[in-house]
């Protein structure tokens, strides 16, 4: 068992751009399989910046990845995005099931996974993460002490461990991460954090209930997207 390691440190155009930054081709996985039970409505479709939140997220993912896959069991609901869709192979297994479906379907070794409840993500922070992956099997940001495994990078080398977790019904992300050779990238390691602490904190904001969505709308009113 290898524990997590903490260490300091459009289509064709997208591929060229990311290869210049990281020397790798990347697939983005947009997870849209949650039940949104705490929100009471589909949080992916909530309006942000005059569009459905998931549409804004897809736009940012397209900037850093040559391929974007939507991981969902509801193809009709998201057809307007025009993205190829991949259903879960392990149904009812939560985010690990979605990650497994995306990693299996990806034609690239490396994937950047994003949940659909992070309305302020920007391509710049993803590029910085990809530039720090090095030889690790995964990279997960830790922001103010909180891990973000659903805004992270994984390689296909994670698949055997991931499959083992699913078969054993060990569905907690933290248990999965503990078994990987994963880099934990703290917020203080980001150049973007050094440039603008306040704006950086918004990039990892997620909304899971009506109160958090209300707060997101307040942030939206003064959020400067130039980063």
Q: What is the pLDDT of residues 48-64, one digit of tens each?
A: 999 999 999 999 999 99
Model confidence at 215, pLDDT cuts 50, 70, 90, reads: very high
Rounded to whole angstroms, the Cα distance separating 197 from 102 reads 32
Give the tokens for residue 43.
Answer: 């949080």
Q: Give the mean model confidence (pLDDT) for residues 112-140.
A: 96
Does the pLDDT of residue 20 top 60, yes or no? no
40 or 15, greater pLDDT = 40
Q: How far lies 148's CA from each of 13, 39, 70, 152, 173, in Å?
A: 28, 19, 19, 7, 10
What's the pLDDT at 201? 86
Q: What is the pLDDT of residue 26?
A: 97
Nearest-10 crossing angle of helices 159-167, 94-105: 140
Question: Residue 31 annotated as binding?
Answer: yes
pTM: 0.87
What value does the mean pLDDT take over residues 208-226? 88
Q: Is 43 annotated as a binding residue?
A: yes
pLDDT above 70 for 18: no
- Name the pLDDT band for 197 (thresholds 50, 70, 90): confident
Q: Is 34 annotated as a binding residue?
A: no
pLDDT at 8 over 70: no
Least confident among 27-36, 82-91, 132-141, 155-164: 27-36
Least confident segment among 50-54, 72-76, 147-151: 72-76
**Domain containing 166: what range?**
5-222
Confidence of residue 114 (pLDDT cuts 50, 70, 90): very high
φ/ψ (deg, to 5) at 225: -75, -5
| Maximum separation of any 2 CA atoms in the chain, in Å | 46
Does residue 227 belong to any structural domain of this protein?
no
Supply 41's token pair. 């409505």
CA distances (Å), 107 to each of 35, 43, 132, 216, in order? 28, 29, 21, 34
For the ranges 12-16, 68-72, 223-227, the lowest mean pLDDT is seen at 12-16
Quick check: is 164 in a domain? yes
Whether 165 is in a domain gets the answer yes
For the chain, the domain total comes to 1
- The better pLDDT of the pair 124, 41 is held by 124
Provide Rg for the chain, Cα atoms.
Answer: 16
pLDDT the model gives residue 138: 98
**Within-domain flag for 94:** yes
191 in a structural domain: yes
The answer to whether 143 and 198 have CB atoms below 8 angstroms apart is no
Residue 104 belongs to some domain of the structure: yes
Is 88 annotated in a binding site? The answer is yes
Residue 117 among known ligand-binding residues? yes
Asked if the structure places residue 173 within a domain, the reply is yes
pLDDT over 70 (residue 13): no
- pLDDT over 70, % of the chain: 86
Q: Look over the chain and give the mean of its residue pLDDT values, rounded to a whole number.
A: 88
163: CATH: 3.90.550.10
**Angle formed by the axes of helices 53-64 and 11-22, nearest 10°:** 60
Residue 141 CB partners (closer than 8 Å, separation 6+) = 129, 147, 148, 151, 152, 184, 185, 186, 187, 190, 204
Please give the Cα distance from 110 to 133 (Å, whole number). 10
């Amino acid at each position: 068992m290898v524990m997590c390691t903490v260490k300091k440190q459009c289509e064709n155009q997208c591929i060229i751009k990311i290869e210049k930054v990281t020397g790798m081709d990347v697939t983005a996985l947009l997870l849209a399989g949650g039940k949104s039970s705490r929100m009471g409505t589909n949080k992916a479709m909530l309006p942000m910046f005059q569009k459905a939140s998931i549409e804004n997220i897809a736009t940012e993912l397209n900037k850093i990845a040559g391929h974007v896959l939507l991981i969902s069991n509801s193809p009709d609901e998201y057809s307007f995005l025009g993205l190829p869709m991949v259903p879960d192979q392990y149904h009812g297994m939560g985010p690990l099931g979605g990650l497994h479906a995306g990693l299996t379907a990806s034609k690239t070794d490396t994937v950047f996974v994003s949940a659909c409840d992070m309305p302020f993500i920007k391509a710049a922070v993803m590029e910085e993460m990809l530039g720090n992956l090095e030889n690790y099997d995964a990279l997960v940001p830790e922001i103010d002490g909180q891990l973000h495994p659903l805004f992270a990078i994984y390689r296909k080398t994670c698949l055997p461990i991931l499959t083992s977790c699913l078969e054993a019904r060990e569905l907690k992300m933290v248990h999965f991460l503990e078994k990987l050779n994963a880099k934990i990238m703290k917020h203080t390691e980001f150049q973007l954090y050094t440039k603008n602490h306040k704006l950086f904190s918004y990039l990892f904001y997620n909304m899971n209930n009506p109160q958090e969505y209300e707060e997101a709308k307040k942030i939206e009113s003064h959020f400067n997207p130039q980063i």
